[in-house]
Amino acid sequence: MPTLPAWVVQALVIFLTTGSTGQLLDPCGYIYPESPVIQYGSNFTAVCVLKEKCMDNYNVNATYIVWKTNHVAVPKEQYTIINRTASSVTFVSMAYLSVQLTCNILTYGQLEQNVYGVTVVSGFPPEEPKNLSCIVNEGKKMMCQWDPGRETYLETNFTLKSEWATEKFADCKTKRGNPTSCIVDYAPIYFVNIEVWVEAENSLGKATSEHINFDPVDRVKPNPPRNLSVSNSEELSSILKLSWINPNIRNVIRLKYNIQYRTKDATAWSQIPLEDTVATRSSFTVQDLNPFTEYVFRIRCMKEDGRGFWSDWSEEASGVTYEDRPSKAPSFWFKINPSRTQDYRSVQLIWKTLPPFEANGKILDYEVTLRRWKSPSQNYTVNDTELTVNLTNDRYVATLAARNRVGKSDASVLPIPPYPFQASQPVTNLKAFPKDNMLWVEWTAPSKSVRKYILEWCVLSDSSPCVPDWQQEEGTVHQTYLKGNIEESRCYLIVVTPVYPAGPGHPQSVKAYLKQAAPSKGPTVRTKKVGKTEAVLEWDQLPVDVQNGFIRNYSIFYKTIVGNETVVNVDSSHTEYTLSSLTSDTLYMVRMAAYTDEGGKDGPEFTFTTPKFAQGEVEAIVVPVCLAFLLTTLLGVLFCFNKRHLIKKHIWPNVPDPSKSHIAQWSPHTPPRHNFNAKDQMYSDGNFTDVSVVEIEANDKKPFPDDLKSLDLFKKDKVSAEGHSSGIGGSSCMSSSRPSISSGDENTASTVQYSTVVHSGYRHQAPSVQVFSRSESTQPLLDSEERPEDAQLVAESGDRGDSIPPRQQYFKQSCGQPDTSPDTCHFERSDQLSCGSEEDLVRLKQQPGLGHTSQPCGSEQVKALQEGSAADTFGPRAEGHTEKLETVGVEAALDEGIPKSYLPQTVRQGGYVPQ
Amino acid sequence: MACHRGWSLYLLSLLLPLLSPAAPISPAEPISQAYSLALYMQKNTSTLLQTYLQYQGSPFSDPGFSAPELQLSSLPPAAVSFRIWHALDDVERLSRGQEAFLALSQHLQLVGDDQSDLNPGSPILLAQLATARLRAQGLLGNMAAIMTALGLPIPPEEDTLGLVPFGASAFERKCRGYIVTREYGHWTDRAVRDLALLKAKYPA
């Protein structure tokens, strides 16, 4: 019989061969075998036989046959031409599970004509089914299942066979889609052995499992016990009685049971020992249960001898054990309220509700007694878990007992110390640590016997106050865990107080975390001070709410924009750190991380720039510079102030006012009037056309050469001195501050001579070549005009000296210097004088010993002045001077007739050489 | 009564020896198993009889119906005097039991056939009859196993039913069924006693 795919192929062939005529035609040939099923990987040979008629029609024979698998031509090497009409093809190790094999002929024009097609299916013969097992669910028929072995890729039938020694049962055919199990269609006959096996069969073979022989009663899975019910006993609070209805299989077999129970809230089941339930029964009393506790039960059963299967669990049933008196006294503690009066204090007694396993029933109320020494006790019945009483400052003993329907608990005794009371004897070595997801507290007991310990704890937080929870531990305990809702990442403050018979001991506290975490915020770092190469960072301690653990250390990360990050670890006790070795004038980015044991958290980044200069560096530079500048300026100002007359002379030269000329005022009787010769000479060149020249004859000419000599010597000594005699007369005032002698006449090359002293020879002698001619400069005249006030001042000062004020006035004017200092020149304005000579004169004054040897160059006037102002100093020598000056004055007068030139006249070298 | 049930006997004769190699050396287990089966059967025999009578209509279904005088020649009666029964040895007891249950299984088959004819719409009765027959067959096998375990020769098979009167009337067939189901109960009771005795003799 052709398989379906082969049919399809045949239909296709028919369609192809009928062509457009639609006429049904026989195929041109056939392939044998027609519907081959072969073992996967085995060799396979097919033969195509052509029909004679077809061969004639297409004029072909077997050599024209082309084999194709899945429309792909098979290599010619696999062909074998058997005879004229038949060609075979051989496949070695067929590796297709299903392949379409077609036989085609190559007709005229190389057209391929399909002749016939088959589908070659390959697979495996069945393996022997393994692990055959059977089960008889109570009330149902027997079901057996097995492991079919490897995939065959072919349709494989499994048949479950069963028989008795005396009876053969009907085969059990597996249902399609579930070839690994079968349910027999006869009711199980218990106590008769049955033999069961499985046969697997497909196109390639047949396999049989091993036979198993068993009594179906040993394969029974009973139904679970029904109607489980639980009842308690008023007599015994620790028992519950279970009863149930056994499954019907109880009629056939004896049963054993498995009973499990748990408290209502538990998830894990406890099991009643199997030895206690090995026989058929319908009730059982469970013992050693806790009072007033709801228990849940379930039960299952199986054949007593353990052959077969446990039933499913029954439906759960629950029951509550009867109440019993509370098994433990409640935890008992007190707080002293802050409000107290002189004689009374408000004491709040607090206690904990008993957990259900200790309450053993519904707590109806609490009995509290308070007893003062030798006083009758006060009794209270409280429904709440606290009682506030006003007590005197004496010592009290409070007792507490919880009461339920059955009875009263033992009393919990709490000594309340008198007031005041010095607590002592704390626990030592208090430690808190997390373990097994609980916060454990451990301490070393004090040497004294402790009645109990009170542990109080609360969450430390900045946002909420410390609301303490507490618990009580026995006096023998020195390690416990906090029985409360302890959260992770919160800081707990735990206080342990030992309670002695006399009263509570000194509390000890410790901080702990159940589980630390990285801080939720990092510290905010900022700079406290930034220096050129260092920065002082500061930060605040993290608030406890974001710490999430004990801050163990900080890390400071800092870097420049381009540089690598540098990390510094800082102990958690610090809130300040100094970064050193920084680069000046650089932007630094710094941030901080705080670390707990569980990790760290970065804070915000902070940037700062180191200054270019260190603190005070700028000041250190600027201040001295400023000071120096100030000083310089001050000095300059002082100087200029000191020399302002020179400046003025330079900038606003004194123009002598001719109208104020008092030449007529001079007194001919006074020796200094000779000086006027020179003056007259000066004015004679100027505007003073009217000036009369007075010739003053020197009384004594003799010493003069000596004087000149000494002057000359002195000049020579001063060759190196700064010579400022050059320039026009006015400018020499500047240099006059230096009391040095300028040998202006010696430096003829570079200096302009203001005047030349022309010696007209000693009186009555041949006048020498020395001529003191007046300078062409008219400045002093202007100056004196401009400074009449000065002249007045000088006049005044002159009045002090002697009786020659009128003459002096002029000179004073010309000097323009109200200063009475003898060091300065008092007669700068005498334009005949070269500055050099002025200096000389000054020098002369400074060296009084030389005073009388002064040059004739206007020195007469100087001496005259000095007589007025410094006559005391010079003493009698001044007289001699005067005489010499007079001589000069005479000479000057003699020179009057010599043509005057405004151009500076050059004096021969040695012009001043003593004649 | 000419119904030929030779195939089952033939099968039995063929298969019984096959059990021999697998039989345990101690006969306690097959005895215990057979006893358990007998006990189990005993609990159901009265139910079977009541169910059977219930389906047969009056007078069978009448309350208190009993016809102890009715017997079938092809079915050996279970009733036996205590003295005779007590005097029997193990082999004889087992042989008589085997003989009886072989006959019963054949007769139950017959009754089942009759009832599927007479009461085709009563699957409960038919199922009970089939189950009873299977159990009788099973007990037969267990007994054979005991004999094998005890090393006793298995008695030759007999066609106890012999010729079956196919032309029997419905009433006759109902009567026949009544006798078979009643005797099935009696023989089960006797087998329980037999096996209890044997069990005591060969404790586990």
**Taking CA atoms, what residue in B is nearest to A165?**
B15
Query: Hey, which of A175-189, A233-247, A550-564 has the most confident mean pLDDT?
Result: A233-247
Please check whether residue A611 is in contact with residue A531, taking contact to mean a CB–CB distance below 8 angstroms: yes
**What average pLDDT does range A808-816 have in this prediction?**
44
| Strand-strand pairing, A130-137 and A220-221 | parallel
For A558, A579, A607, A614, the CA distances from A533, given in Å and listed in that order, are: 14, 8, 15, 8
Q: Which of B36, B131, B140 sits opposite A166 (nearest CB)?
A: B140
Question: Which pLDDT does position A663 carry in this prediction?
Answer: 60
Min Cα separation B174/chain A (Å)? 25
- Which contacts qualify for A393-396: CB closer than 8 Å, 24 or more apart? A393/A343, A393/A344, A393/A345, A393/A418, A393/A419, A393/A420, A394/A418, A395/A502, A395/A503, A396/A347, A396/A370, A396/A371, A396/A372
**Taking CA atoms, what residue in B is nearest to A250?**
B40
Q: Where in A615-668 does DSSP place strands (E)?
A: none
Quote the radius of gyration of chain A (alpha carbons, Å): 71
**How many helices (H) and strands (E) in chain B?**
6, 0
Q: How far apart are CA A304 and CA A279, in angstroms?
A: 7
**What average pLDDT does range A138-158 have in this prediction?**
91
Please check whether residue A797 is in contact with residue A826, taking contact to mean a CB–CB distance below 8 angstroms: no
Question: Which pLDDT does position A430 carry in this prediction?
Answer: 93
Sorting pLDDT into bands at 50, 70 and 90, what band is A210? Answer: very high
- Cα–chain center distance at A503: 51
Give the N- to C-terminal CA distance of chain A in Å, as an integer: 174
Question: Which pLDDT does position A673 carry in this prediction?
Answer: 46
Min Cα separation B28/chain A (Å)? 14
Sorting pLDDT into bands at 50, 70 and 90, what band is B58? Answer: confident
Which positions in chain A have a beta carbon within 8 angstroms of at least one beta carbon in chain B?
163-168, 186-187, 189-193, 213, 215, 217, 251-252
What crossing angle do the helices spanning A877-894 and A675-685 adopt, rounded to 10°? Answer: 30
Name chain B contacts of A192, Cβ cutoff 8 Å: 33, 37, 135, 138-139, 141-142
**How many helices (H) and strands (E) in chain A?**
15, 50
Q: Per the structure block, which two tokens stand in for A912?
A: 């001043």
Name chain A contacts of B22, Cβ cutoff 8 Å: 213
Which of A622, A796, A642 is closest to A733 using CA atoms?
Answer: A642
Out of A573-587, A875-889, B142-156, pick the least confident: A875-889
Question: Which pLDDT does position A664 carry in this prediction?
Answer: 55
Q: How far apart are CA A798 and CA A790, in angstroms?
A: 12
Question: Which pLDDT does position A693 carry in this prediction?
Answer: 53
Choose from A138, A162, A192 for mutation: most chain B CBs within 10 A. Answer: A192
Which of A425, A367, A369 is closest to A397 using CA atoms?
Answer: A369
Sorting pLDDT into bands at 50, 70 and 90, what band is B19? Answer: very low
Judge whether residue A897 has pLDDT over 50.
Answer: no
CB spacing of A191 vs B37 below 8 angstroms: yes
Name chain A contacts of B34, Cβ cutoff 8 Å: 191
Sorting pLDDT into bands at 50, 70 and 90, what band is A105? Answer: confident
Question: Which pLDDT does position A671 carry in this prediction?
Answer: 53
Query: pLDDT tens digit string along A441-481?
Result: 999 999 888 989 999 999 988 888 888 889 999 989 989 99
**What average pLDDT does range B85-114 have in this prediction?**
89
Please check whether residue A898 is in contact with residue A773, taking contact to mean a CB–CB distance below 8 angstroms: yes
The set of residues, in sequence order, having a beta carbon less than 8 Å from that of A704 and lying 6+ positions away, is: A698, A762, A856, A884, A887
Question: Which pLDDT does position A126 carry in this prediction?
Answer: 92
Q: How many residues does chain B have?
A: 204
Sorting pLDDT into bands at 50, 70 and 90, what band is A532? Answer: confident
Q: Which is more confident, A360 or B6?
A: A360
Which positions in chain B have a beta carbon within 8 angstroms of at least one beta carbon in chain A?
8, 11-12, 15-16, 18-19, 22, 33-34, 36-37, 40, 43, 127, 131, 134-135, 137-142, 144-145
Q: Which is more confident, B140 or A647?
A: B140
Query: pLDDT tens digit string along A29-87?
Result: 889 888 889 888 888 999 999 888 888 888 888 888 889 988 888 888 888 888 888 98
Q: Per the structure block, which two tokens stand in for A699?
A: 């009384």
Question: Which pLDDT does position A666 carry in this prediction?
Answer: 54
How crowded is residue A437: how many other Cβ atoms within 10 Å of its Cβ?
10
Q: Per the structure block, which two tokens stand in for B148?
A: 């094998």
Please check whether residue A355 is in contact with residue A311, taking contact to mean a CB–CB distance below 8 angstroms: no
Sorting pLDDT into bands at 50, 70 and 90, what band is A256? Answer: very high
Question: Which pLDDT does position A772 carry in this prediction?
Answer: 52
Q: Assign residue A742 a region: left if phi > 0, alpha if psi is -120 to 50, beta otherwise? A: beta
- Cα–chain center distance at B86: 21
Q: Which is more confident, A893 or A112?
A: A112
Q: Which of A187, A191, A213 sits opposite B40 (nearest CB)?
A: A191
Residue with tokens 């077809």: A54
Min Cα separation B7/chain A (Å)? 10
Q: Per the structure block, which two tokens stand in for A851?
A: 């005073």
Name chain A contacts of B143, Cβ cutoff 8 Å: none
Judge whether residue A873 has pLDDT over 50.
Answer: no
Sorting pLDDT into bands at 50, 70 and 90, what band is A616? Answer: confident
CB spacing of A217 vs B134 below 8 angstroms: no
CB spacing of A165 vs B19 below 8 angstroms: yes
**What average pLDDT does range A522-533 have in this prediction?**
87
The set of residues, in sequence order, having a beta carbon less than 8 Å from that of A587 and lying 6+ positions away, is: A560, A561, A607, A608, A609
Min Cα separation A166/chain B (Å)? 5
**What average pLDDT does range B12-18 have in this prediction?**
45
CB spacing of A165 vs B131 below 8 angstroms: no
Residue with tokens 């306690």: B28
Q: Which of A168, A192, A251 sits opposite B142 (nearest CB)?
A: A192
Residue with tokens 């249902």: A175
Q: Which is more confident, A641 or A216?
A: A216
Out of A115-129, A271-285, A645-659, B186-200, pick the least confident: A645-659
DSSP-based helix, strand, coil % in chain A, nearest 5? 25, 35, 45
CB spacing of B131 vs A168 below 8 angstroms: no
What crossing angle do the helices spanning A805-815 and A859-874 adopt, rounded to 10°? Answer: 110
Q: How many residues does chain A have?
A: 915
**What average pLDDT does range A566-586 have in this prediction?**
87
Out of A89-93, A409-413, A662-666, A728-732, pick the least confident: A728-732
CB spacing of A191 vs B19 below 8 angstroms: no
Per DSSP, A549 falls in state S
Judge whether residue A411 has pLDDT over 70.
Answer: yes
Judge whether residue A734 has pLDDT over 90.
Answer: no
Percent of chain A with pLDDT over 90: 25
Residue with tokens 């079968």: A182
Please check whether residue B133 is in contact with residue B110, taking contact to mean a CB–CB distance below 8 angstroms: no
Sorting pLDDT into bands at 50, 70 and 90, what band is A501? Answer: confident
**What average pLDDT does range B39-65 have in this prediction?**
89
Please list the residues that pair with A90 across neighbouring strands: A45
Would the pTM of this model clear 0.95, i.e. be above it? no
Which of A675, A676, A677, A670 is closest to A892 using CA atoms?
Answer: A677
**Taking CA atoms, what residue in B is nearest to A218?**
B33
Out of A30-39, A101-110, A871-880, pick the least confident: A871-880
Please check whether residue A745 is in contact with residue A912, taking contact to mean a CB–CB distance below 8 angstroms: yes
Please list the residues that pair with A106 across neighbouring strands: A112
Min Cα separation A139/chain B (Å)? 14
- Cα–chain center distance at A755: 89
Backbone angles phi, psi at A84, to 5 degrees: -65, -30
Q: How far apart are CA A303 and CA A243, in angstroms?
A: 19
Name chain A contacts of B131, Cβ cutoff 8 Å: 187, 189
Q: Which is more confident, A650 or A702?
A: A650
Min Cα separation B127/chain A (Å)? 9
Judge whether residue A877 has pLDDT over 60.
Answer: no
Question: Which pLDDT does position A235 carry in this prediction?
Answer: 87
Judge whether residue A867 has pLDDT over 60.
Answer: no
Q: How far apart are CA A678 and CA A811, in angstroms?
A: 11
**What average pLDDT does range A323-327 have in this prediction?**
91
Q: Per the structure block, which two tokens stand in for B29?
A: 């287990």
Question: Which pLDDT does position A402 carry in this prediction?
Answer: 94
Q: Which of B40, B131, B137 sits opposite A164 (nearest CB)?
A: B137
Q: Which of B16, B127, B138 sits opposite A192 (nearest CB)?
A: B138
Q: What is the dihedral of CA A859, A865, A868, A871, to 10 degrees?
A: -40
Q: Which is more confident, A45 or A665?
A: A45
Question: Which pLDDT does position A727 carry in this prediction?
Answer: 41
CB spacing of A191 vs B142 below 8 angstroms: yes
Query: pLDDT tens digit string along A690-723?
Result: 555 555 555 544 444 444 444 454 444 444 444 4
- What DSSP letter does each residue of A185-243 carry, written as one string? SS---TTS-EEEEEEEEETTEEEEPPPEEE-GGGGEEPPPPEEEEEEE-SS-TT-EEEE
Min Cα separation A259/chain B (Å)? 27
Question: Which pLDDT does position B153 carry in this prediction?
Answer: 81
Please give the order of strands across the beta sheet that includes A378-382. Answer: A378-382, A363-372, A396-404, A412-416
Sorting pLDDT into bands at 50, 70 and 90, what band is A667? Answer: low
Name chain A contacts of B145, Cβ cutoff 8 Å: 165, 193
Name chain B contacts of A186, Cβ cutoff 8 Å: 134
Q: What is the dihedral of CA A13, A16, A20, A21, to 10 degrees?
A: -30
Question: Which pLDDT does position A699 carry in this prediction?
Answer: 54
Q: Is A875 helix (H, G, I), strand (E, B) or coil?
A: coil
Question: Which pLDDT does position A206 carry in this prediction?
Answer: 92
**Taking CA atoms, what residue in A is nearest to B17?**
A165
Sorting pLDDT into bands at 50, 70 and 90, what band is A864? Answer: very low
**Taking CA atoms, what residue in A is nearest to B18?**
A165
Please check whether residue B2 is in contact with residue B162, taking contact to mean a CB–CB distance below 8 angstroms: yes
Q: How far apart are CA A33 and CA A37, in angstroms?
A: 9
Query: pLDDT tens digit string along A570-579?
Result: 888 888 888 8
Name chain B contacts of A167, Cβ cutoff 8 Å: 8, 11, 134, 137-138, 141
**Taking CA atoms, what residue in B is nearest to A213?**
B22
Question: Positive or negative, the Cα torsion across A627, A628, A632, A633?
Answer: negative
CB spacing of A251 vs B43 below 8 angstroms: yes
Min Cα separation B59/chain A (Å)? 31
Q: Is A43 helix (H, G, I), strand (E, B) or coil?
A: coil
Which of A137, A135, A133, A159 is closest to A146 using CA atoms?
Answer: A133
Q: Is A538 helix (H, G, I), strand (E, B) or coil?
A: strand
Choose from A161, A166, A213, A220 for mutation: most chain B CBs within 10 A. Answer: A166
